[in-house]
Structure 1
Amino acid sequence: MFPAFEQAYLDVLDHVANEFEFQNAPRGNESRECLGLSFQIADPRDRFAYLAARQVNPVFHYAEALWYLAGRNDLDMIGYYAPRMQRDSRDGVSIVGSAYGSRIFNPLDGDTVSPFDRVLNLLRTEPNSKRGVLQIFGRDELAVETNPDVSCVVALHLLEREGRLHMVCYMRANDIDRGLLADVFSFTMIQEFAAIQLGLEVGAYTHHIGSAHIGDRDLARARRTLQEASERTQRPAFEVRTMPKDTNSDLIAELLRHEAALRTNARQYRPSEIAEMGFDPYWQQVLLMFEAKRQLVHCPADTVDDELIGALDPGLRWLMARRWPRRIAPFEVGQ
């Protein structure tokens, strides 16, 4: 078991890059691969990897997690934060396989209750249940020839034990350099959200992968990341915030109304305006990042407002300064 995600990420990255079992190129993607890889994280809330060489994108991670939590599959929102996902859409409007939240948080097949709510109801009435499975991979996905977007996730499994909500994730495949960062971030957000709805503490997060792989195109970056980790004297230590206890689907919907206004450049918010909206400081940080993204996209000639960046938590400032070094002033630990 690893204490936090970053240590697990580095260990898995090193293992697949340097102790791989196979080299292959399914659909032309040359990669190194290990089969049947698993790890566990003690504190799923500590979900960021503070690695300058990797240039983690915290804005995308929060946007994708909220997209999932809202049960959405639209390309309008997620394509703004990750334009590469547009190539995986069959109709240019929606995403099917990778829209995991749409299969979890919406009623399916004529049901009136979502799979998520059914699992929560089960866990409320059957202590220590083993049946709290949120199935994501659908058998119909393989029936579509040349499907550009087959779900990488088979299922998420929620287990309540001794007052804590644990999650086990089953992946058919995971790109360790790319997808693993985003997947663990979003799935642990779903775990924390579910724990709040059940009035439980957050337990451990376990991640099982059928095919763990790194594309040859990403090997150089993986090696830079591993070298950085080996040369530093200590990992940057930043506060880990806890999702507020009043977080529910209505609050997520309200957050996304503000997100849409910023994404479409219909509004712009100063930090003082965000502070007066009534959101917990946890979610204020997310809106600050969405405003920063608005400036990055819609004000391409300018640096991001210093007052805005200064209002971010130190860990988020550290990550964003490394992701967009030409637009955001450098930030070092201790500033």
Structure 2
Amino acid sequence: MMHKHYTNFTSLYRDTLHKICFEYEYVNSPRGNKERELIGFNIRLDNPPDRFCLSKIRKQNIVFNYAEALWYLSGKNDLAFISWYAPSMQRYSPDGISLPGTGYGARLKNFGADTLDQIERVIDILKNDDPDSKRAVLQIFSAEEDLYRRNIDVSCTLGLQLLLREEKLNMVSYMRANDAYVGMLNDIFSFTFLQEYIAARIGCKIGHYTHQVGSIHVYESTHERALELLNSNETIPQPGTVPLMPIGTSPTTIRKLLEYESEIRSGLLTFNDMANLNLTTYWRDVLMLFWIYRQIKIGNALPQKALEIINPYYQPFLINRWG
């Protein structure tokens, strides 16, 4: 059964949290983590690029969101990259080196013994084999994963399905479990980003995004924060429109971005260097987010010169989170 449709993530997020906090079906404690839970949940976002949460209380970290999405496209599951943007993720690594469950990129781009690039395969299917196909599936969860309690990093996502209909690319995600307060915000951002990337590669418009979850829940540890968000209608301003990924984005684009990101992280790419990069404005803005984050991480104030040239849509998110 299809639940409500939403034109923006903010309303989808608020309604989902409200439903779980006040209409939950179960209270349980998997692995000792108390939660309120709904089973068999689905919801649709009709405008996937509108993946940003405008709640002033939530303080979305859009720098991490772009980093995680590009981490998936890197084809890796290394801890070093993502923990730079989210140090708390280190606690989920079983070996201090990788995130074999959470790092979806390794399975998206290098699946199994044959290191299958699933993203390139679905693009080929939809462009060259059968545009009406129902077989364009990106598998993430693997039966080989250790599902016992001893494993701290099991894939939450089962898979992603791409459906090209009426020249628009739709996506359906299938998740075994989803933490609605933290995980859903980040997951929908990354999955719709991936959807937009594949649409840009195919050269079609983006359709709708459907989020399907076996167990969606709010943990007791974030329940009060969810209620605080629901009790506040204060939003950050919306200058301009949601940035759209340019048609023509390619694997070469992503490789260059990841190379530049590495140089930013190591301090080799300066503010002045970025003005001369051979990239579209959309991607230069993403790199500028990474450069701004590094300045904050090393103890500098939010740089005014960077705020003045980055897409105005991003400015309120940066100010709201880091002042």
TM-score (norm 1): 0.91
Partner of 1:293: 293
Q: Matched residues in 1 for 2:142 and 2:176: separation?
A: 12
Task: Give the 3 Å change call, closer, same or farther, for CA 258–127 of structure 1 in structure 2.
Answer: closer
Once structures 1 and 2 are overlaid, which stretch shifts more, 234-243 or 88-97?
Answer: 234-243
The answer to whether the Cα contact below 8 Å between 2:243 and 2:313 also exists between their aligned partners in 1 is no
Number of aligned residue pairs: give it: 318
The yes-or-no answer on 1:264 pairing with 2:266 is: yes
Q: Matched residues in 1 for 2:161 and 2:61: separation?
A: 27
Instruction: Specify every segment of 5 or more residues in structure 1 that has no aligned partner in the other structure, as ranges.
Output: 326-335
The answer to whether the Cα contact below 8 Å between 1:70 and 1:249 also exists between their aligned partners in 2 is no
Q: Matched residues in 1 for 2:42 and 2:291: separation?
A: 37
The yes-or-no answer on 1:274 pairing with 2:278 is: no
Task: Give secondary structure in 2 for the equivalent of 1:40.
Answer: strand
Partner of 1:160: 164
Task: Give secondary structure in 1 for the equivalent of 2:284.
Answer: helix
The answer to whether the Cα contact below 8 Å between 2:274 and 2:284 also exists between their aligned partners in 1 is yes
Structure 1 stretches of 4+ moved >6 Å = none
TM-score (norm 2): 0.94
Q: Matched residues in 1 for 2:152 and 2:221: separation?
A: 20
| 1:63 maps to amino acid | A
| 1:318 maps to amino acid | P
| 2:308 maps to amino acid | G
| 1:119 maps to amino acid | V
Give 1:266 shift. Answer: 3.1
Give 1:237 shift. Answer: 5.8
Give 1:196 shift. Answer: 1.4
Partner of 2:118: 115
Partner of 1:313: 311
- Superposition CA RMSD, Å: 1.7
Instruction: Specify every segment of 5 or more residues in structure 2 that has no aligned partner in the other structure, as ranges.
Output: none
Q: Deviations over 1:5-31 (max 9, x none)?
A: 111111101111111111111111111
The answer to whether the Cα contact below 8 Å between 1:241 and 1:282 also exists between their aligned partners in 2 is yes
Task: Give the 3 Å change call, closer, same or farther, for CA 71–305 of structure 1 in structure 2.
Answer: same
Q: Matched residues in 1 for 2:220 and 2:312: separation?
A: 33
Q: Deviations over 1:291-331 (max 9, x none)?
A: 11111112x1x312211122222231101111112xxxxxx
Q: Matched residues in 2 for 1:317 and 1:237: separation?
A: 9
| 2:212 maps to amino acid | H
Task: Give secondary structure in 1 for the equivalent of 2:146.
Answer: helix
Partner of 1:248: 250
The answer to whether the Cα contact below 8 Å between 1:108 and 1:114 also exists between their aligned partners in 2 is no
Q: Deviations over 1:21-46 (max 9, x none)?
A: 11111111111111111110111011
| 2:204 maps to amino acid | L
The answer to whether the Cα contact below 8 Å between 2:239 and 2:312 also exists between their aligned partners in 1 is no
Task: Give the 3 Å change call, closer, same or farther, for CA 274–91 of structure 1 in structure 2.
Answer: same
